[in-house]
Amino acid sequence: DTAVSQTPKYLVTQMGNDKSIKCEQNLGHDTMYWYKQDSKKFLKIMFSYNNKELIINETVPNRFSPKSPDKAHLNLHINSLELGDSAVYFCASRASGGSEQYFGPGTRLTVT
């Protein structure tokens, strides 16, 4: 009964590969986010979707492409992975009219 879940939890891959991270929330929220946490633990927003519509794109390279098949799911596809993409990626969700954001457990991506 996890509120915001992500798969996989760990992802190790080589430079140049393409990979996807999946996120699902069962809170009934309308807005979902992707955040990146770097090696210094700094958290920065990447994307936000509201009811399957992209509403935030924070100057993220085109190699990153989010997709929201429905309002409960937000996936992140990354093409041509680079060493600098190594980080922990967090999904979060928020209800319309609310301010509280609830985070998933994170996906630790390691690019070798």
Partner 1 sequence: QQQVKQSPQSLIVQKGGISIINCAYENTAFDYFPWYQQFPGKGPALLIAIRPDVSEKKEGRFTISFNKSAKQFSLHIMDSQPGDSATYFCAASGGQGAQKLVFGQGTRLTINP
Q: Which chain residues interact with partner 1 by CB under 8 A?
A: 4, 31, 33, 35, 40-45, 48, 50, 55-56, 58, 90, 94, 99-106
What's the closest the beta carbon of residue 55 comes to partner 1, in angstroms?
A: 5
Task: Tally Cβ neighbours within 10 Å of residue 80.
Answer: 12
Assign 3-class secondary structure to 8-30.
Answer: CCEEEECCCCCEEEEEEECCCCC
Output 17 or 37, the one with its CB closest to partner 1.
Answer: 37
Tokens of 73: 């799911």
Distance CA 8, CA 21 (A): 7
What's the closest the beta carbon of residue 69 comes to partner 1, in angstroms?
A: 20
What's the closest the beta carbon of residue 31 comes to partner 1, in angstroms?
A: 7
Output 38 or 82, the one with its CB closest to partner 1.
Answer: 38
